[in-house]
Chain A
Amino acid sequence: QQQVKQSPQSLIVQKGGISIINCAYENTAFDYFPWYQQFPGKGPALLIAIRPDVSEKKEGRFTISFNKSAKQFSLHIMDSQPGDSATYFCAASLTGTASKLTFGTGTRLQVTL
């Protein structure tokens, strides 16, 4: 019930291409879905987040697509750059105080020249 499944485990994309990472959740009570970017040896940084009342959210080159009926959401990185090479984690939680995040397993993205 609490799992968030993330795929693929790793991804190689050419510079300028589109990177797509998918996540699926089980708990229908989840109502907040953030994506985090983590570079080696650093803490995760919030990238973008969405709530289930919208199907898509875009911030710059990053877009979250959300499908409530399928209990799936995905991160699209447009015009991928070598600087985007990092590990990406999706997560889900219940909003409100002290809401715990349930993380996906992570996707290692490598953007090649």
Chain B
Amino acid sequence: GAVVSQHPSWVICKSGTSVKIECRSLDFQATTMFWYRQFPKQSLMLMATSNEGSKATYEQGVEKDKFLINHASLTLSTLTVTSAHPEDSSFYICSAHRGTDTQYFGPGTRLTVL
């Protein structure tokens, strides 16, 4: 149990376009999901906390208009990178929080902006 999926696993887009990444908890309901960004050989950086049915809470320094998060159901959260630029290229990882247990992470999405 506690499987989290992400789609797509990798995406290449042109500068200025928007990209949507989906995060799904497959076998449990997640009232809270988290979005992280990870640069090569670095730790995970929390971008935002997403609660079902409410607005996401963004970490300091993360542009909410740049990284749109929607948590429409207990099993799905989406991250949209709007007007993507090369500096947005990164590995984006979501996690889902199950009850009082720890977070279970998705496999990640590699975004490359040309």
Contact = CB atoms under 8 A, between A and B. Distances in A.
Interface stretch (A52-60, A71-79, A96-104): A96-104
A97 B97 CA distance: 8
Interface residues of B, number: 26
A4 to B, nearest CB: 9
Interface residues of A, number: 24
Contacts of B102: 32, 34, 46, 49, 93, 101
Instruction: Name A's interface SS.
Output: loop
Interface in B98-113: 99-100, 102-108, 110
B100 A44 contact: no
Contact of A103 (B31, B43, B100, B107): B43
Contact of B107 (A34, A43, A97): A43
B78 interface: no
Contacts of A96: 100
Contact of A43 (B42, B93, B97, B100): B93
A83 interface: no
